[in-house]
Chains A and B, each alone.
Chain A
């Protein structure tokens, strides 16, 4: 029998938690329905039909709610109930927070796991963001940094033979006339500065040392770069010849103080005789300014600046200089490049040249570090591709952490079905439940951020070591960063918690309260997709790391064509070079010294690069050239393949001899080149062909190399030392050097360390990705454990029945593990092609690289599978040995 009052009560109840309909609004609508029912029953409708008609005339429910929401807030304000409402909302918020804390305290393990999972993801993201921020910060400290550019040029050497077109070679150097003649007449160039780097011996009253970062530069350098002065005046510091500006560190080094304006320093450069202290062979400078030290995020590094002794230098052929310029803000570098080229061709058409500029490239200063192939003046460079790799890796790790959180939350959800059922029965709407669960995930997100910040502080020194950086957390003192962190914590909590919140709030109270099967069954495929995605990413990281380490190992183990171990190189400055032979002879008498050689260059430090010609003038292409003595090949451990080694009695002068490498010989007739005369700045007869050796990093292919006998001006002394007691041998070398050349500073390096330094960036990436691989595998495994736990909990009755019917623990484990093993295999199949493509792209950067063997992937896949099986087995075993009676017992 239809009961109007009951029907209206049910109707009202359905609106109970629709906030936009106040109780008096429901009263008003109820009265309207009653009036309508009354009118319709008088027309002959039954009460039930009249009620239905009245409800139909109520209209679409969603439109009704929308219309009421539209007038809700003004109504609250008009009726002065806004404060009450806000108080109510605040009370709800506190209640949610209280319930959240209670739940998290009750499930400490779950809370800890989730906080740690998210914190790891956030901390890794934080480290990478700090790293990328630091990389992008290079050279940003200059005022108007966006308007500072370097003018590079592309040069080809000109051959006397017509038709010979050597490849154009990009240079970061530019003839000075480009600045003093061309740019000076172009208003877009506001200021220009020509930098010439020198390596000098610098001497004060107490210190005598070799310095690499010594530059000649005019006063306009302070108009181009921002170089803050500690003492002195930038307006006058480099106006006069004989002026010198140095950094604070150098002031401390040479004078023990910073306030050193007016003090004197001496330098030695193009001096061929020994001098002691300040003498006529030294250059004398007066300190006119002290600069702050260059920040670590600077590609330019000046320790000393001296005024050049010329006003204007208009050479078109001198490539010693690097040209920087500050352009007008609206200047167009592309059109300036074309103008410079046109101006250069016009000015040089009648100038006899041995090389020609074919193109100018105006490169922004702030792009040099990440984009330029030559890096900055201090040799620092990175690669923009690494930024993309790291940013992607960090986001992937955070993504994996979120997926892991979701799976863990879902695993716990089955314990909360009763809670959800009871709350729904007493009137909680789905929206309220979603808000509750989102509150939990937001709070976890905030906790995770707190832990992540702690991890950042604690692990930053270690990260700096891996990444070869000097990052600080000073950025956290900026107020704005905390707004971002707060917003990020909130967003992360919402994103990670959305799916579990929607999933949990969906449970039907009847189903879950009487423990009918089916609670939580939906969404299984989604959870499995999460597992596949996580393991795909984790396997991908492992693949990348293993192959990178393989490549680095290959580099370190590869036969370089010479023996790099126990090779010490002593750099000889101008004043030391005349003493190279007596020093060599004295060293050969010392214990621990196996061999010594003098040369104008060594395999690592780019020797001269000139065109080689045959005896009849035919061009043989460009090749590297060094001048060596007779035991260069023996000292370096190279192998003579054809012909003979240089002999000490071989003639010098016009009839000198040389050795070439295989690459040179192969392009020019192979062994036919033996005994041929070639000209490579100097003429020589080729007496031997040496096995190819790597004289630059393995990123570059081996080119031609010519070792010419007879070194007059040796810049390097290479010493092969015995492997035992190396520190003592180094000390012996230093003492011998100082005995033979007392007035020149001693500096040395190990060849193998210098070679390894070439791959510092690659090593850095491999180390960071290795760390990521470990973390993602860990997170993916935790996630898998959670999903298996969820699956076991869902199937607890089934497992109980199977055990009662005689199933063994092993068969239960197999039952639970089977599907997850399939997921890991699927992840492996997904990771393989992605990994192959990505790694092949990275390896293209190396001229010499490992091949990626397919069996490798199998090993890695097998390892991931084993890890997954262990993770699954642990949880499956718990389910398998549980008491089946507990599982089957009815409520």
Chain B
């Protein structure tokens, strides 16, 4: 399990990344996160949906109710332009952080000439 702080910090980029692949709904999103993290990041239903609403309040996502083919009426979320920009910034930040940490944790070069 990831530490809670890390899980909290990564939720926004995760959700925005999932929505970058296309419109999705809450149950699908939470399952996707569970699959991608192998269960290391677990969100309760009661906190994910308010998080989605906060993204919507911030203008990063938008939502609509519609019934799919052979599917009941659900609330679908999709990424806005602002959300896409935010995702790009998140990606840049996380990549940079990953690079720094990777550099710090790379084993030293061997001095053995053979």
| Extra 19 A-B pairs, beta carbons < 8 Å, given A28-B75, A29-B45, A32-B26 | A25-B49, A27-B75, A29-B46, A31-B25, A32-B30, A32-B45, A57-B45, A59-B45, A63-B44, A63-B47, A64-B50, A67-B46, A68-B50, A70-B50, A71-B50, A71-B57, A74-B54, A75-B57, A78-B56
B12 contacts the other chain (Cβ, under 8 Å)? no
8 Å CB contact of B47 from A27, A67, A75 = A67
In the complex, what distance in Å separates the CA atom of A35 from the CA atom of B75?
A: 13
In the complex the two chains form, is A31's CB within 8 Å of B46's CB? no
- Taken together as a complex, chains A and B put the C-alpha atoms of A60 and B47 apart, in Å, by 9
- Interface hub of A36, A61, A67, A74 (most chain B Cβ within 10 A): A67
Docked complex Cα distance between A61 and B44 (Å): 11
Chain B residues near A35 (CB, 8 Å)? Answer: 27
Residue B3 at the chain A interface, CB threshold 8 Å = no
Decide if A58 is an interface residue (CB 8 Å cutoff).
yes
Report 30 cross-chain contacts, Cβ distance below 8 Å, ordered by A residue.
Answer: A24-B65, A24-B75, A28-B49, A28-B74, A28-B75, A29-B46, A31-B27, A31-B72, A31-B73, A32-B27, A32-B45, A36-B45, A58-B44, A58-B45, A59-B46, A59-B47, A60-B44, A63-B44, A64-B44, A64-B47, A64-B50, A67-B46, A68-B53, A71-B53, A71-B57, A74-B54, A74-B57, A75-B53, A75-B56, A78-B56
- Closest chain A residue to B44 by CB distance? A59
A22-40 residues with Cβ-Cβ distance < 8 A to B are 24-25, 27-29, 31-36
Please, how many angstroms separate the alpha-carbon atoms of A60 and B44 in the complex? 9
- Closest A residue to B75 by beta carbon equals A28
By the criterion CB–CB under 8 Å, are B46 and A60 in contact? Answer: yes
Is the Cβ of A67 less than 8 Å from the Cβ of B50? yes
The residues of B with any CB-CB pair to A shorter than 8 Å are 25-27, 30, 44-47, 49-51, 53-54, 56-57, 65, 72-75
By a CB distance below 8 angstroms, the chain B residues around A32 are: 26-27, 30, 45, 49
Closest residue on chain A to residue B49 by CB atoms: A28
Q: Name B's interface SS.
A: helix
List residues of chain B with CB within 8 A of the CB of A59.
Answer: 44-47
Give CA–CA (A137, B65) in the complex, Å.
68
Cα–Cα, bound, A273→B50 (Å): 102
B54 CB to closest chain A CB, in angstroms? 5
Establish whether residues B27 and A36, one from each chain, have CB atoms under 8 Å apart when the complex forms: yes
Most buried by B among A31, A36, A63: A31
Summarize A's interface: helix, strand, loop or mixed: helix
Give chain A nearest CB distance to B73 CB in angstroms.
Answer: 8
Say yes or no: A71 contacts B46, CB within 8 Å. no
Min Cβ gap A4→B in Å is 14
Q: Is the CB of B74 within 8 A of A31?
A: yes
In the bound complex, residues from chain A placing their C-beta under 8 Å from that of B30 are: 32
Contact of A29 among B49, B57, B73 (CB under 8 A): B49
Q: Give Cα A78 to B30, complex, Å.
A: 25
9 closest residue pairs by CB, A with B:
A59-B44, A64-B46, A67-B50, A59-B46, A74-B57, A35-B27, A71-B53, A58-B45, A58-B46
CB neighbours of A60 from chain B (8 A): 44, 46
Interface residues on A, range: 20 to 34
CB of A28 within 8 A of CB of B26, answer: yes
Give the docked Cα–Cα distance between A36 and B25 (Å). 13
| A61 CB contacts on chain B under 8 angstroms | 46
Query: What are the residues of chain B within 8 A of A67 when measuring CB–CB?
Result: 46-47, 50-51
> Complex: how many Å from CA A563 to CA B101?
103
CB B25 to nearest CB in A, in angstroms, measures 8
Chain A residues near B45 (CB-CB < 8 A):
29, 32-33, 36, 54, 57-59
Roughly how many angstroms separate A57 CA and B30 CA in the complex, as a whole number? Answer: 11
Q: Return the chain A residue nearest B58 by Cβ.
A: A74
| A78 x B46 contact (CB < 8 A) | no
Expressed in whole angstroms, the minimum distance between the Cβ of A25 and any Cβ of chain B is 7
Q: Which residues does chain A contribute within 8 Å of B56, judged by CB atoms?
A: 75, 78
A54 to chain B, nearest CB (A): 8
A77 to chain B, nearest CB (A): 8
| In the complex with contacts A31-B72, A31-B74, A32-B27, A78-B49 CB distance below 8 A | no
Q: Which residues of B contact A71 (CB under 8 A)?
A: 50, 53-54, 57
**How distant is A682 from chain B, measured CB to nearest CB, in Å?**
95
| A57 touching B44, Cβ below 8 Å | yes
How long is the Cα–Cα vector from A33 to B30 in the complex, in angstroms? 12
On chain A, the residues within 8 Å of B75 by CB distance are 24, 27-28, 31
Tell me the smallest distance from the CB of B81 to a CB of chain A, in Å.
17
Q: How close is B3's CB to chain A, nearest CB, in angstroms?
A: 18
List the A residue with the shortest CB-CB distance to B54: A71
Query: Does the CB pair A78–B27 fall under 8 Å?
Result: no
Question: Is the Cβ of B57 less than 8 Å from the Cβ of A78?
Answer: yes
Chain A residue with minimal CB distance to B47?
A67
**Considering only CB atoms, which chain B residue lies closest to A57 in the complex?**
B45
With a CB–CB cut-off of 8 A, which chain A residues contact B25? 31
- Nearest B-chain residue to A25, judged by Cβ: B49
**Interfacial residues of chain A within 668-723, with CB under 8 A of chain B in the complex:** none
CB-defined contacts of A64 to chain B, threshold 8 Å: 44, 46-47, 50
Q: A24-B75, A31-B72 are in contact. Are A70 and B27 (CB under 8 A)?
A: no
CA distance A521 to B104 in the complex (A): 68
Q: Which residues of B contact A74 (CB under 8 A)?
A: 54, 57
Q: Which residues of A contact B47 (CB under 8 A)?
A: 59, 63-64, 67
CB distance from B18 to the nearest CB of A (A): 16
Instruction: Tell me the bound Cα distance from A64 to B57 in angstroms.
Output: 18
Q: How far is the CA of A71 from the CA of B27 in the complex (A)?
A: 20
User: Min CB distance, A3 to chain B, in Å?
Assistant: 18
> Which residues of the partner chain B approach A54 to less than 8 Å between Cβ atoms?
45
**Contact residues in B for A25 (Cβ distance below 8 Å):** 49, 53
Most chain A CB atoms below 10 A, which of B45, B46, B54, B74: B46
Shortest CB distance B68–A (Å): 12
Contacts of B57 in A (CB 8 A): 71, 74-75, 78
The complex places the Cα of A75 from the Cα of B61 at a distance, in Å, of 13
Instruction: Give the complex CA separation of A74 and B65 in angstroms.
Output: 20
In the bound complex, how far is the Cα of B72 from the Cα of A507, in angstroms? Answer: 42
Q: How far is the CB of A53 from chain B (nearest CB, A)?
A: 11
Q: With A and B bound together, what is the CA distance between A29 and B53 in angstroms? A: 13
Q: What are the residues of chain A within 8 A of B74 when measuring CB–CB?
A: 28, 31
Give the distance in Å from the alpha carbon of A74 to the alpha carbon of B58 in the complex.
Answer: 9
In the complex with contacts A28-B75, A32-B26, A70-B49 CB distance below 8 A:
no
A70 contacts across to B, CB distance below 8 A = 50, 54
- Distance in angstroms from A57 CB to nearest chain B CB is 6
Shortest CB-to-CB span from A19 to chain B, Å, is: 14
Say how far A535's CB is from chain B's closest CB, in angstroms.
51
CA distance A654 to B54 in the complex (A): 106
Which residues of B have CB within 8 Å of A58? 44-46
B45 to chain A, nearest CB (A): 5
Roughly how many angstroms separate A57 CA and B43 CA in the complex, as a whole number? 8
Closest to B42 in A: A57
Task: Provide the residues of chain B in CB contact with A33, threshold 8 Å.
Answer: 45
Distance in angstroms from B8 CB to nearest chain A CB is 12
Q: Which residue of B lies closest to A33 (CB)?
A: B45
Chain B minimum-CB-distance residue to A36:
B27
- A residues within 8 A CB of B51? 67
The smallest beta-carbon distance between A801 and chain B, in angstroms, is 52
Cα A292 to Cα B25 in complex, Å, equals 82
Least CB distance from B17 to A in Å reads 21
Chain B: minimal CB distance from A464 (Å): 61
Cα(A135)–Cα(B57), bound, Å: 57
Q: Compute how far the CA of A28 lies from the CA of B27 in the bound complex, rounded to whole angstroms.
A: 10
Of the candidates B49, B50, B74, the one having the most CB atoms from chain A within 10 angstroms of its own CB is B50
Contact partners of A36 in chain B: CB under 8 A: 27, 45
B74's nearest neighbour on chain A, judged by CB, is: A31
Whole-angstrom CA separation of A62 from B99 in the bound complex:
39
- Quote the shortest CB–CB distance from B51 to chain A (angstroms): 8
Contacts of B53 in A (CB 8 A): 25, 68, 71, 75
**A25–B72 alpha-carbon span in the complex (Å):** 16
Task: Find the residue from A24, A27, A28, A60 having the highest chain B CB count within 10 A.
Answer: A28
Q: How far is the CA of A650 from the CA of B65 in the complex (A)?
A: 122
Chain B residue at minimum C-beta to C-beta distance from A35 = B27
